[in-house]
Amino acid sequence: MATLPPLTPFGALRWDVTRRLVPPASRVLEVGCGQGAVGVRLAAAGHDWTGVELDGDSAAVAAARLTAAGLPGTVVHGSVETAGLDGGYDVLCAFEVLEHLEDDAGALASWLGLLRPGGLVLVSTPAWQRRFGPMDAAVGHHRRYDPPQMRALLAGAGLTDVGGRLYGAPLGFVLEAARNRVAQRRLAADGTTTAERTARSGRLFQPSSAVQGAGVAAGTWPFRVVQRALPRSGPALVAWGRVPGAMGLA
* Residue 98, helix vs strand vs coil: helix
In the predicted model, is pLDDT for residue 191 greater than 80?
no
| CATH number for domain 9-243, candidates 3.40.50.720, 3.40.50.300, 3.40.50.150, 3.30.1360.120 | 3.40.50.150
In the predicted model, is pLDDT for residue 205 greater than 90?
no
Q: What is the mean pLDDT of residues 34-61?
A: 96
User: Per-residue confidence at 138, pLDDT binned at 50, 70, 90?
Assistant: confident
Residues 6+ apart with CB under 8 A from 163: 239, 240, 241
> What per-residue confidence (pLDDT) applies to 189?
54
In the predicted model, is pLDDT for residue 192 greater than 90?
no
Q: What are the residue ranges spanned by the domains of the chain?
A: 9-243
